[in-house]
Amino acid sequence: MSTAEQATGATEELSLLSIANEANEVGKDSDNESNNEAEAEAGKKKKKNKKRTKKKKKAGLGAAGQTDTLSVPVSQLFPVSYPEGEICEYTDDNRKRTTDEEMRAKDRLNEKQIFDLRRAAEVHRQVRRHAQRVIRPGMDLTTIADMIENGTRTLVEANGFESGIGFPTGLSINHCAAHYTPNAGDHVVIQNDDVLKVDFGVHVNGHIIDSAFTMSWNDRYAPLLNAVKDATNTGIREAGIDVRLCDVGAAIQEVMESYEIELNGKTIPIKPIRNLCGHNIGPYKIHSGKSVPIVANGDQTRMEEGELFAIETFGSTGNGYVHEEGVCSHYAKNDGAYTSPRIPSAKKLLQTITKNFGTLPFCRRYIDRLGESHYYLGLKTLVDSDIVMAYPPLCDVEGSYTAQFEHTLLLRPTVKEVLSRGDDY
């Protein structure tokens, strides 16, 4: 082979090697691209398969985060859930309800109602705790009512029929047992020897918590307060699904009448006020049809699953019977009244009542707060026409002393929950 041929051969070999190298590089690039595409696809699948975890709400400060001026809504203190009330398992034939799966499923259907009630109950606990610290002899009842009601509005974030006050604050002294709240211009001042009943309500979406307690600043009234507190707890213990109302009343009466009190050198038996009673509660209706007696009265009506009850008892050193006395302050629209008033002032007032209170109880101070004036004739017309019901103060004989304690409980399918229970009573 000549040198020229060899050179030509070498050149051809170099060309072939160059082509082969280029082919290898192209192959490598292609493989890299395929690998990159596969990795990208795998990454996408991982992202798709990765569970999206919701950020959990942080637990709030709880009741301890409340200020001395009641300025923090409970929704900020309990952003996740509200404290449950006292849980009482059913007994006897209803014992199986606690673990029954069907009952648990029914219970879960009521979660929204229970959530709302617990929110209202927590508001009640915090407001009354503040009231118990602040209320003292020398205070004006209007000041106390404003403090409780403004605190309630703030803590429940009052918003019309979504949340707010359940009924006017009752501040009944001594022989007056219930339904007294100050009207504009009233200046009743607490005295050292007074026995004060504090009864107020909170609602969330119409679900009302109704709870009351009694305060005194003289130890000689302790037996009266202890008797009524014991009687109320007895009523709570006896209440349950399928329980007859008369049986609850009989148990309350027995406990109440086992107490006595010494006043001015005389030993006086403590009597249940027989014409006052507890009641069931409906949406936006503080009294929903059933009455829970505090004496044995033969009522065979039974408590039912899902019902909300206010168990309240009243004890007295007097006759154990109340009558209407004094100027009325409590009112509520009659849900069954369909007549329309003819007097313009009454018609205008009815529109105001319907718009702002519906069937929730109200008082004159609430109408004043809305800016209404010269409405007394209109209000009287509505009452006389049975469109609005009047609830005057209820009093025993003058010179006697009365006490009250009250809790709201729910007869859930699985357990009985005393929603308004606190560490105070």
Catalytic residues: 199, 210, 279, 287, 312, 406
Q: Which residue has the tokens 């160059």?
A: 18
The residue length of the chain stands at 425
Strand blocks (E) in 84-206: 86-89, 163-173, 176-178, 195-204
Residue 386 CA to residue 150 CA, distance in Å, equals: 30
All residues at 6 or more sequence positions from 275 whose CB lies less than 8 Å from its CB, including other chains = 321, 322
Largest Cα–Cα separation, the chain:
149
How many alpha carbons lie under 13 Å from residue 28 in its C-beta half-sphere? 6
Residue 70 CA to residue 35 CA, distance in Å, equals: 65
Residue 324 CA to residue 337 CA, distance in Å, equals: 23
**Could you tell me if 330 and 168 are in contact, meaning their C-beta atoms sit under 8 angstroms apart?**
yes
Compute the chain's Rg from CA coordinates. Answer: 35
Which of 226, 224, 253 minimizes the C-alpha distance to 238? 253
**Could you tell me if 413 and 106 are in contact, meaning their C-beta atoms sit under 8 angstroms apart?**
yes
In this structure, the dihedral spanned by the alpha carbons of residues 50, 51, 52 and 55, taken in order and rounded to 10 degrees, is -120
Residue 397 CA to residue 220 CA, distance in Å, equals: 20
Which of 177, 416, 140 minimizes the C-alpha distance to 277? 177
Q: Which residue has the tokens 């106390």?
A: 144
In this structure, the dihedral spanned by the alpha carbons of residues 255, 178, 208 and 388, taken in order and rounded to 10 degrees, is 140
**Could you tell me if 177 and 197 are in contact, meaning their C-beta atoms sit under 8 angstroms apart?**
yes
Give the β-pairing of 266-269 and 260-263.
Answer: antiparallel
